[in-house]
Amino acid sequence: MIRYLLMILSLFAAVAACDSGGRTPVVATNVVITAPAPGMPVAAGYLEISNHSGTAIRITRVSSPDYESVEMHETVVEEDVARMRAIPLLEIEDGGTVVFERGGKHLMLMRPIGTPDTVTLNFYSDEILLLSVSAEFTTAVD
Ligand SMILES: [Cu+2]
């Protein structure tokens, strides 16, 4: 059995281009960052992103001050073989939610900078910061 302990230190959303009246335009929930396996320079991130901005948003880039590189990936099964594919651009319609989860879309965090125990993820639409999320690593226990 695998048990995941999650502690979200802080969770906040930056202001998107067309915020009106104090409603949070882009919201992240269920943020999970899995601790990397020993000796592996890669961690995975899962979360749900909901768009309440009043217009479609396009996530074009994800970055982190704690990792040299963050990519959006999707696991697809082709001829019974699971493969990962990079997602160059992710559009979320107004009112829509995109789910990053095990076996589906996920974030790959590559090459840690130092030894982070809290990870911040920044989601951009070109140069506009849509969402910033910070979470501790989960601890996976077999
Ligand atoms: Cu991947």
Per-residue confidence (pLDDT) for residue 3, from 0 to 100: 40
For ligand 1, the distance from its centroid to the CA atom of residue 23, given in whole angstroms, is: 32
- Only one residue has tokens 């302990």, namely 5
* Residue 104 domain flag: yes
**Which of 2-6, 53-57, 58-62 comes out lowest in average pLDDT?**
2-6
pLDDT interval class at 80 (50, 70, 90):
very high
pLDDT interval class at 105 (50, 70, 90):
very high
Q: Please check the confidence at residue 140 and state whether its pLDDT lies above 90.
A: no
For ligand 1, the distance from its centroid to the CA atom of residue 73, given in whole angstroms, is: 5
Q: What CATH code is carried by the domain that includes residue 41?
A: 2.60.40.1890
Per-residue confidence (pLDDT) for residue 17, from 0 to 100: 42
CA distances from 35 to 43, 61, 108, 137 (A): 6, 22, 12, 5
For ligand 1, the distance from its centroid to the CA atom of residue 36, given in whole angstroms, is: 13
Domain count for the chain? 1
For ligand 1, the distance from its centroid to the CA atom of residue 134, given in whole angstroms, is: 20
* Residue 90 domain flag: yes
For ligand 1, the distance from its centroid to the CA atom of residue 26, given in whole angstroms, is: 23
For ligand 1, the distance from its centroid to the CA atom of residue 78, given in whole angstroms, is: 15
The conformational region for residue 127 under phi > 0 = left, psi -120 to 50 = alpha, else beta, is alpha
Predicted confidence (pLDDT) per residue in 106-117, tens digit: 999 999 998 888
For ligand 1, the distance from its centroid to the CA atom of residue 66, given in whole angstroms, is: 17
Two tokens, residue 22? 């104090």
* Residue 10 domain flag: yes
Q: Three-class SS of residue 99?
A: strand
For ligand 1, the distance from its centroid to the CA atom of residue 105, given in whole angstroms, is: 8
* Residue 141 domain flag: no
Give the structural domain span for 11.
3-136
- Only one residue has tokens 């160059």, namely 88
How many Å separate Cα 121 from the centre of its chain? 7
Q: Average pLDDT, stretch 14-43?
A: 75
* Residue 142 domain flag: no
Q: Average pLDDT, stretch 11-23?
A: 44
* Residue 16 domain flag: yes
* Residue 130 domain flag: yes
**Arithmetic mean of pLDDT over the chain:** 84
Per-residue confidence (pLDDT) for residue 141, from 0 to 100: 45
Predicted confidence (pLDDT) per residue in 60-77, tens digit: 999 999 999 999 999 999
CA–CA distance, 57 with 90 (Å, rounded to integer): 8
For ligand 1, the distance from its centroid to the CA atom of residue 53, given in whole angstroms, is: 28
* Residue 21 domain flag: yes
- For residues 105 and 61, the answer to whether their CB atoms sit within 8 Å is no
pLDDT interval class at 2 (50, 70, 90):
very low
For ligand 1, the distance from its centroid to the CA atom of residue 62, given in whole angstroms, is: 13
